[in-house]
Each structure stands twice: as structure tokens, then as C-alpha cells.
Amino acid sequence: MSTGNETKKASTWLFAEMAALYFALPAMLTLARLRIRSFPVIPALWLATLPLAAWLVRQRGFALLAVLGVGGAAITERRLAATLLRAVPAAVAMVALLHHIHPEWLFSFVSTHPKFWLVVMFAYPVLSVAPQGVIYRAFFRERYAALFPNQTVRTLAAAACFSFCHVFFLNPWALLLTFVGGIMFWRTYEKTGSLLLANLEHALYGDLVFTIGYGAFLYHGTMALVNAPG
């Protein structure tokens, strides 16, 4: 009986810890952003990532490069091709949706700031995707996945955590788009065990989002540069 109680207590603490990391912390950062419009998003993201990466290396035996999504489980040509092909209808759907809700935003970033767009295409995977892979995929699976024995519930929980960190951008579209993306990236990671492939998929869709014109929803710095209406 005592063992059962201890297990339940440990699970309760883990749930509380998960809620603090994935919900309370983003909420606090969002409140900070309301006071500091030029809040340093990327430095804050990496600051949160470093202790989690250290835990994965020390407690779970991850190689440092594998934690950052470099190396680890091999990516087969078949899986890579499937990931790329899956992005085609998704891109078409994203273009159609943006044409419906904000047609003036379509490809506006590329056309008005082509040099900065090119910088984002390369910088986003390194500066943003890599740390998110640590926090919302590798660390979540190693630390909290056992709290959700049901695969569907586990996937939805991982996607909800990933989505809520985008509350920082203060619009529902950011939450919706990243919830769908969170399901896709988590399923890729859980199915293949390759953080590199999940990060590549995340980077691909992120770059598509900025290219098509959704950057106004997902990054306030890009929104200012593009001068998006609304």
C-alpha cells in the first residue's frame, strides 16, 4: 500500500512540475512581454533549455549533439521522403487558409524583405527549433511521457504543452497552428526515435509558415518588419 501511495505522490509531483514548466513559465513570460515589448525571446528559450539538456545528458545518457538534434537515430531515405511529401498538401492548405483570412499577407515577407527572409530560413532551425526539440520532445518523453500510458492522450498532452508556449504571441492562430504542428512533430519523434528528423520536420514547417506569410502570427519581430495589418 505504501509503495502505491509513494508512486501516486511521485506522479502528482511530476504533474505539478510539468505544469510549472509548460504552463506557468510561459504564462509568466507572456506577462513579462506585456511590460517589455522587446522581450528577448530566443535568449529566454535557450536559458530554459540548458538545464534540461544537462539533465538529459547526465541522467539519461544522451550524447550532447543528440540532445541538440544532431545525430542520434539514423534517418532512412524512406522516412525523410515521407516527411517531405507530407509537407506538400500541408503547404497547399496553409496557402489556401491564409488566402482566405489575410490574402494581403501571402508571401509578403519574401517579397518585401528577401534578405531577412533568407536569414530566417537558416537561423530559425538553429536558434528556435533546436531548443524546442529539447524542451518539448526529448525532455518531455524522458521525464513526463510515463504519466500518459495512453498513446493518444500522450500525444495530445505533448502537443498542448508545445502549443501553449506560443501563448507568448498573444493570438489564437499561433496556438492552433502550433497545436497541429505539435501533434505531427511528437508523432514523428515517438515513432522514429529520431530527434533530428522531428527537428527537421519542425524546421521545414516553420520555414513554410514564414515563407507563406504566417510570421505575423508567430513572431512579433517579423510582424513589425513585414508591417502586417491588423
Convert the pLDDT of each residue in 29-87 to its tens digit: 999 888 887 778 888 899 999 999 999 999 999 988 888 887 766 688 898 999 999 99
**pLDDT of amino acid 23:** 97
pLDDT in tens, 147-175: 999 999 999 999 999 999 999 888 898 99
Number of H helices, E strands in the chain: 14, 0
Give the span between the Cα atoms of 15 and 9, in whole angstroms.
Answer: 10
Give the span between the Cα atoms of 129 and 120, in whole angstroms.
Answer: 12
pLDDT in tens, 186-226: 999 999 889 999 999 999 999 999 999 998 787 654 443 33
Of 7-16, 19-28, 91-100, least confident by mean pLDDT is: 7-16
DSSP state of 166: G
pLDDT in tens, 122-133: 999 999 999 999
Question: Which pLDDT band holds residue 17 (cuts at 50, 70, 90)?
Answer: very high
**pLDDT of amino acid 221:** 42
Phi–psi pair at 7, nearest 5 degrees: -65, -45
List the grid coordinates of 133.
526539440
Q: Please name the residues in contact with 149: beta carbons below 8 A apart, sequence gap of 6 or more.
A: none
**pLDDT of amino acid 66:** 86
**pLDDT of amino acid 75:** 82
As for how many domains the chain has, the answer is: 1
Cβ atoms of 163 and 178 within 8 Å: the answer is yes
pTM (whole model) above 0.75: yes
pLDDT in tens, 42-58: 888 999 999 999 999 99
**Looking at residues 12-32, what average pLDDT do you find?**
95
**pLDDT of amino acid 3:** 66
Domain that holds residue 190: 2-226
Cβ atoms of 140 and 164 within 8 Å: the answer is no
User: Which uninterrupted H or E stretch holds 31?
Assistant: helix 25-35
**pLDDT of amino acid 228:** 37
Give the span between the Cα atoms of 109 and 115, in whole angstroms.
Answer: 10
Q: Which residue has the higher pLDDT, 227 or 208?
A: 208
**pLDDT of amino acid 170:** 85
pLDDT in tens, 102-119: 999 999 999 999 999 999
